[in-house]
Amino acid sequence: RDPYAHRRRPVLINNWEATYFDFTTDTLVTIAKEAANLGIELFVMDDGWFGERNHDDRGLGDWWVNKTKLPGGLEDLVFRIHKTGMTFGIWIEPECINEDSCLYQEHPDWVLSVPGRNPVRARNQLVLDFSRKDVVDYIFEKICAVLDQGKIEYIKWDMNRCMSEVYSRAGRPEEQGMVFHRYILGVYSLYEKLIRRYPHILLESCASGGARFDPGMMYYAPQCWTSDDTDAVERLKIQYGTSMVYPLSSMGAHVSAVPNHQVLRTTPIETRANVACFGTFGYELDLNQLMEEELEKVRRQIAFMKENRDLIQFGTFYRLISPFEGRGNVTAWMVVSGDRKRALVGYYRILEPVNEGYRKIRLAGLEEGIRYHVSIQGGGYHGGFKEIDVYGDELMNFGLIVSDSSSGDNKEKYDGTNGDYQSRIYMLEA
């Protein structure tokens, strides 16, 4: 229902893996200026901007601006971000709370917990009782007081833990079996209130603790943060599996720092982008730490996404080779325009094979009688691939040869295509 449901999604930068909780207004603006220079459109301030939130065991639930980090308040930060030419977004996790917070000290009965039992903590958090209207109304009031401080165009709504001890202190014993259902109705009511008051905001929900990638949430939030696991190799399975039910325009997907903060794997920035661009696309790293060569690659990646995002986010998606089948070393997918005159093919190889024969992938969704010009994103020499003109029926029945002519014993030099964690995007134009 959100206006963004059929609108292109902005390319964003999120400061989480760049700064975690350690930032100030100046820190964020420095990242934002570099991002704007590269063509990024939306800056998102993640966790740590509120209360006494300097680490993850304190401050959650205290939804007011931390003036030590943001001495000029949110108004100053939003003004300075807008001055770079970008829009501004903010992170919230309204359903959870730390025990070390003002809100918990005032209302310990507002959490889901069983009297007389020690609560289970996950990520140092407990879950607020959203089956209670007074709790939802309080959170709405506090969030609105923040959002009214400046023009905010995007909200990343996190839910970082599973629900446990689902017992409402306000409910009678015979009502406890209804708390799960009433809780979700409370979540929906908060979404509803926010959408009515701020209809211009793009809402992104979270697929993490609450398993929230469902049609109920998407009625309010047209996209979802697919996973905190941002590793490009892991993301092949995450995004491929999600695509069984949901469109690419709903999948939050970012290029993150390396070594990856979840699995410690180092993948090329090209492969990280080639995976993430089949989604809403953004970055989650400190651009000021990149070398000039990497920044130029980022600039080209953003330009490519802007040029092709209508096709990617609203074209027809086809799964070609599953990462769940066989050894899972190769994944391939593609997206085709409505008139079948343009297509992009994503091809991903995790580990370098030795002396492998020719590999081809059969494409889908093309027009049999159309002759397509096939090139590789970025152009130039890439694994020996030469641009070709070939008909749709050949590409769908015989296939597109994707093997490296320089692989195996014939490999004479490193050309940027050999080695592990490689990928390509093939571009097809009628």
Please report which residue ranges of 277-391 form alpha helices under DSSP H.
Answer: 292-314
How far, in Å, CA of 295 to CA of 303, rounded?
12
How far, in Å, CA of 177 to CA of 101, rounded?
29
Contacts by 401-408 with C-beta closer than 8 Å and gap 24+? Answer: 401/358, 401/359, 401/360, 402/332, 402/347, 402/359, 402/360, 402/361, 402/426, 403/356, 403/357, 403/358, 403/359, 403/360, 407/353, 407/355, 407/356, 407/383, 408/354, 408/355, 408/356
Are residues 309 and 9 in contact, defined by beta-carbon separation less than 8 angstroms? yes
How far, in Å, CA of 426 to CA of 348, rounded?
11
Are residues 337 and 366 in contact, defined by beta-carbon separation less than 8 angstroms? no
Q: Strand pairing of 400-401 and 87-92?
A: unpaired
Among 170, 95, 171, smallest CA distance to 136 is for 95
Q: HSE (CB half, 13 Å, CA atoms) of 304?
A: 22
Please tell me which residue in 228, 286, 415, 420 is annotated as part of the active site: 228
How far, in Å, CA of 272 to CA of 249, rounded?
18
**Per the structure block, which two tokens stand in for 102?**
């003002």
Cα dist from 414 to 119, 178, 293, 410, whole Å: 56, 62, 18, 11
| Exposure b/e, 173-201, CB count within 10 A at least 16 = b | eeeeeebeebbbebbbebbebbbeebeeb
How far, in Å, CA of 58 to CA of 100, rounded?
5
**Per the structure block, which two tokens stand in for 411?**
């490999």
Residue 228 appears among annotated catalytic residues: yes
How far, in Å, CA of 211 to CA of 225, rounded?
11
Among 267, 224, 220, smallest CA distance to 245 is for 224
Please tell me which residue in 47, 158, 231, 404 is annotated as part of the active site: 158
Task: Kindly provide the residue ranges of all beta strands, DSSP E only, lying in 304-385, ordered along the sequence.
Answer: 316-321, 330-336, 342-349, 360-361, 371-376
Residue 145 phi, psi (nearest 5): -60, -30
Q: Strand pairing of 42-45 and 87-92?
A: parallel
Catalytic positions are 158, 228
